[in-house]
Amino acid sequence: MDLLDWHRGTLSSRRLAVLVKHMPRDSAVNRDLHGEAVEWDASTHLLAALVDHAAVSNWMTATINSGEDAEPLDYPEPVARPGSPDSHENATADSRVGGTPDGRLPSAGQLSSFFS
């Protein structure tokens, strides 16, 4: 396809718009418009969510089994997503998986009583 066809009048503006709109996900136009977000499809987002939830689950298990006297474990950092600049560094506990509205993380005793 020659884009000069649009200038010559043999390619309509509507057809050109449809061709640009339906370009492949990894095209230069989509990469320029959406950045690295074009590399993440639904499967990749679901996989990142799975990794985040597994990390929180492991953190809960370790927290429950560490006992009341142990030093609290660090909450796991979520996988960085495209389109949100350093959102994992500025996240509060309520925006992360397993956080509470007041920003505190549950203690080992609270987790143990919840799951028993």
Domain ranges of the chain: 4-39, 42-115
Residue whose entry in the numeric block shows the structure tokens 């690295």:
36
User: What is the chain's alpha carbon radius of gyration, rounded to the nearest angstrom?
Assistant: 23
Listed in sequence order, the residues at least 6 apart from 87 whose beta carbon sits closer than 8 Å to its beta carbon are 80, 81
Average pLDDT, the chain: 80
Tens digits of residue pLDDT in 15-49: 988 988 888 888 888 888 878 778 888 888 899 99
Q: What share of the chain is helix, strand, coil (3-state, %, to 5)?
A: 55, 0, 45
Please tell me the total number of residues recorded for the chain in this structure. 116
96-112 burial string, b = 16+ CB within 10 Å, else e?
Answer: bebbeeeeebbebeebb
Q: What are 107-113's contacts with CB under 8 Å, separation 24+?
A: 107/63, 107/68, 107/72, 108/63, 108/64, 108/66, 108/67, 108/68, 108/70, 109/68, 111/60, 111/63, 111/64, 112/64
Contact 93, 104 (CB under 8 A): yes
- The answer, as to whether pTM is greater than 0.85, is no
- Average pLDDT over every residue of 79-95: 58
Residue 51 pLDDT exceeds 90: yes
Residue 64 pLDDT exceeds 60: yes
